[in-house]
Amino acid sequence: MASTIPFFKQVDRYIDRAADLASHPRGLLEQIKLCNAVYHVSFPIERDDGSIKVINGWRAAHSVHKLPVKGGIRLSSKASEDEVTALAALMTFKCALVDIPFGGAKGAIRVEKEEYSDRELERIMRRYTFELIQKNFIGPGVDVPGPDMGVGAREIGWMADTYMAMAPGQVNVHGCVTGKPLPLGGIRGRVEATGRGVFFGLREATGVAEDMEALGLTPGLEGKRVVLQGLGNVGFHACRFLQEAGAVVVAVAEREGAIHDPSGIDIEELVRHRAEEGSLLDFPVKTRIEESISAIELDCDILIPAALENQITAENAPRIKARIIAEGANGPVTVEAHDILAERGVMMIPDVYLNAGGVTVSYFEWLKNLSNVRFGRLNNRFEAASNGRTLDAVETLIGKEFSSSVRARVAVGAREDDIVNSGLEDTMTSAYHHIREAARARKTDLRTAAYFLGLEKVAVAYRERGVFP
């Protein structure tokens, strides 16, 4: 299944295609492609049985056209420098595309998470953080890690606590990482942010009647058949919001296999079942598929690869039946597969845009940490009182009182999660239409258009800094 082209080289090829549409000096374009710095660290930890294990980790800062740089940390037995640099490059373009003022970065620790106890994982995360501190690869104004595959609020909390212990007196210390637990300065809405962003992107894409007609589909999400690969945080939340909008999840693939039911699969029930039983294969459905990768070849309207990179290749691309591929994961479609699918007219909503919801809300968390004020704290009650006075005035005009349920919905102020979700929706909505307009203007696909827009913004930032003439 794996592509013969290294992941970072694949990203470079996408950048090259976008560069062909740009008019910047070649040297500037080459600088933008290069990874600015990569730190490879090896350190020992003592396991619970007293044995010593050497752990390898990486942190890559792809572009410093803006600081801090931003990107997640993942725990994966397949982690490598190539993967980290490729993901850091994606982060550069992702942040630029949705107007987040960060450079791109990424980190990874090469471990199989399930093989380590919680105590061992804590030692790994804290030591990794210490190593980043030693080389100035972490800090609110330098490099702000966040969660990624295998890393959640708990692990980020360990990183935050380690950094805070070594940075006494820093006012903005909570901004050292994002994705933190709420008591450590986290933000409401971060957990589901990436999946919610996937939903917003799909909602916008399927809402364009002209584009849906070209695919032989009706506008909107209602009734759209969805196949999901990867029942992690991103895939679960994306499908939860899609189901609420009327889409039907007909198949789900995970490591142990896949299940298929044309009548629909309740994604929340499935997640509960898998958490209790350890597998989705005995969930009550019509069909079980032992080879999970073959599930992405099922007939559907929307395919969401939300697992790993290089899942759709030149080998299986001709068998893909989806009309829309919504890239919830990073790099799920290889360059060769992209060309095959584009030739067939498949709409591919690229990862560099579609999974930007996580970094968008991480940006909001970082802003919250720098200001040291929770969103909504200063204006929540003022807005509620103002809305209440508006209802009072309307009641006076019409001579009729509103019900308590109406007042409960209207006479309220914006809470933190309301503000976060509103900001995320605005970001994803406007970015999609900018990409679509660029694609139409330059007669290219959405992926190349997205890279082109990101490239333009990074190039302008370099020029404004005076780095290049």
User: Rounded distance, CA 371 to CA 394, Å?
Assistant: 37
Residue 406 has what pLDDT? 73
Give the model's confidence band at 81: pLDDT under 50 very low, under 70 low, under 90 confident, else very high: very high
- CATH number for 193-354 (one of 3.40.50.720, 3.40.50.2000, 3.40.50.300, 3.40.190.170): it is 3.40.50.720
Q: Tell me what the pLDDT averaged over the chain comes to.
A: 92
> Helices 193-206 and 357-371: crossing angle, nearest 10°?
130
Rounded Cα–Cα distance for residues 96 and 104 (Å): 9
Q: Which residue has the higher pLDDT, 468 or 203?
A: 203
Q: In sequence order, what are the residues at sequence separation of 6 or more whose Cβ sits closer than 8 angstroms to the Cβ of residue 358?
A: 72, 146, 147, 190, 193, 194, 197, 234
Task: State how far the Cα of 376 lies from the Cα of 379, in Å rounded to an integer.
Answer: 5
| Sequence spans of domains, the chain | 35-184, 193-354
pLDDT band at 70 (very low <50, low <70, confident <90, very high): very high
CA–CA dist 451, 224 (Å, integer): 28
Nearest to 60 by CA among 87, 78, 33: 87
pLDDT at residue 396 tops 90:
no
What's the CATH architecture for 35-184? 3-Layer(aba) Sandwich (3.40)
Same fold, 35-184 and 193-354: yes
Does residue 2 register a pLDDT over 50? no
- Helix count (H) and strand count (E) of the chain? 16, 12
Q: pLDDT tens digits, residue range 415-464?
A: 888 889 999 999 999 999 999 999 999 999 999 999 999 999 999 888 77
At position 404, the amino acid (one-letter code) is S
Residue 468 has what pLDDT? 55
pTM of the entire predicted model: 0.90
Q: Residue 245's closest CA among 218, 220, 209, 270?
A: 220
pLDDT at 412 over 80: no
Cβ–Cβ under 8 Å, residues 149 and 76: yes
pLDDT for the residue numbered 403: 80
222-272 pLDDT per residue, tens? 999 999 999 999 999 999 999 999 999 999 999 999 999 999 999 999 999
Assess whether 9 carries a catalytic annotation: no
Element (H, E) at 147: strand 143-147
- Number of neighbouring beta carbons within 10 Å of residue 457: 18
Q: For every residue of 6-73, which 3-state class applies, written as one string?
A: CHHHHHHHHHHHHHCCCCCCHHHHHHHHCCCEEEEEEEEEECCCCCEEEEEEEEEECCCCCCCEEEEE
Query: Distance between CA 113 and CA 55 in Å, rounded?
Result: 12
| The one catalytic residue among 70, 106, 224, 368 | 106
For the residues 36-61, what does the mean pLDDT come to? 96
Q: For 232, what's the count of Cα atoms within 13 Å in the CB-facing half-sphere?
A: 19
pLDDT of residue 13: 92
pLDDT the model gives residue 1: 44
More confident residue, 460 or 127: 127
**pLDDT tens track for 268-311:** 999 999 999 999 999 988 888 888 889 999 999 999 999 988 99
Q: Please give the Cα distance from 394 to 204 (Å, whole number).
A: 34
- Specify the DSSP class assigned to residue 439: H
Higher pLDDT: 401 or 67? It is 67
Q: What is the Cα–Cα distance from 455 to 457, expressed in whole angstroms?
A: 5
pLDDT for residue 467: 58
pLDDT tens digits for 338-381?
A: 999 999 999 999 999 999 999 999 999 999 999 888 777 767 77
For residue 405, the model assigns a pLDDT of: 78
Using an 8 Å Cβ cutoff, are 206 and 224 in contact?
A: yes
Locus of tokens 């933008």:
32
